[in-house]
Structure 1
Amino acid sequence: MTQEPSLSRTLTNGVRTALGIAGIIAIIIGILILVAPLKTASVITAFIAIYAVVAGVIYAALGIFAKSASTWGRIGNVLLGVLFVIAGIVAFTDLGNVTTVLAVFTAIFIGVSWIFEGVLAFASLRSVANKVWGVVFAVLSIIAGILVITAPFAFAALLWLILGVALVVLGILQIVRAFSYRGPANGATLRVDEARI
Structure 2
Amino acid sequence: MSDIFYQKLRQMVGLDGLLSLIFGLLIIFWPDRTASVVTVLVGIAFIGIGAAYVSSIANHDDESAWARLGSLLIGAIYLVAGVFIFINLYVATAYLFLIVGLLVGMTWIIEAIVTFASLKFYNKKGWAFFSGIISLIGGIVLLFSPVIGAAVLWTLLGLSLAILGVIKIIQYFTW
Q: What TM bracket, shorter-length normalisation?
A: 0.7 to 0.9
Task: Describe the shift of the 1:144–1:90 C-alpha distance in structure 2 as closer, same or farther (beyond 3 A).
Answer: same
Partner in structure 2 of residue 41 of structure 1: 35
State the superposition RMSD in angstroms. Answer: 2.2
Q: Distance in 2 between matches of 1:130 and 1:28?
A: 39
Does 1:18 find its partner at 2:12? yes
Indicate if the aligned counterparts of 1:33 and 1:40 stay in contact, CA closer than 8 A: yes
Partner in structure 1 of residue 162 of structure 2: 168
Displacement after TM superposition at 1:28 (Å): 1.0
Partner in structure 2 of residue 69 of structure 1: 63
Does 1:115 find its partner at 2:109? yes
Displacement after TM superposition at 1:116 (Å): 2.5
Residue range with higher mean Cα deviation, 105-114 or 134-143: 134-143
Does 1:32 find its partner at 2:29? no
Q: Distance in 2 between matches of 1:138 and 1:171?
A: 30
* Structure 1, gaps ≥5 residues long: 1-6, 182-197
Partner in structure 2 of residue 141 of structure 1: 135
Displacement after TM superposition at 1:70 (Å): 2.4
User: Which amino acid is 1:86 matched to?
Assistant: V
Partner in structure 2 of residue 193 of structure 1: none
Residue range with higher mean Cα deviation, 43-52 or 9-18: 9-18
Displacement after TM superposition at 1:127 (Å): 5.4
Indicate if the aligned counterparts of 1:60 and 1:81 stay in contact, CA closer than 8 A: yes
User: TM-score, normalised on structure 2?
Assistant: 0.87
User: Which amino acid is 2:156 matched to?
Assistant: I
Partner in structure 1 of residue 52 of structure 2: 58
* Structure 2, gaps ≥5 residues long: none
Displacement after TM superposition at 1:43 (Å): 0.3
Structure with more helix by fraction: 2
* Bigger radius of gyration among the two: 1
Indicate if the aligned counterparts of 1:64 and 1:78 stay in contact, CA closer than 8 A: no
Displacement after TM superposition at 1:142 (Å): 2.2
Secondary structure in 1 matching 2:155: helix
User: TM-score, normalised on structure 1?
Assistant: 0.78
Secondary structure in 2 matching 1:109: helix
Q: Distance in 2 between matches of 1:136 and 1:10?
A: 47
Indicate if the aligned counterparts of 1:63 and 1:76 stay in contact, CA closer than 8 A: no
Displacement after TM superposition at 1:135 (Å): 4.4
Displacement after TM superposition at 1:30 (Å): 0.8
Q: Distance in 2 between matches of 1:41 and 1:33?
A: 8
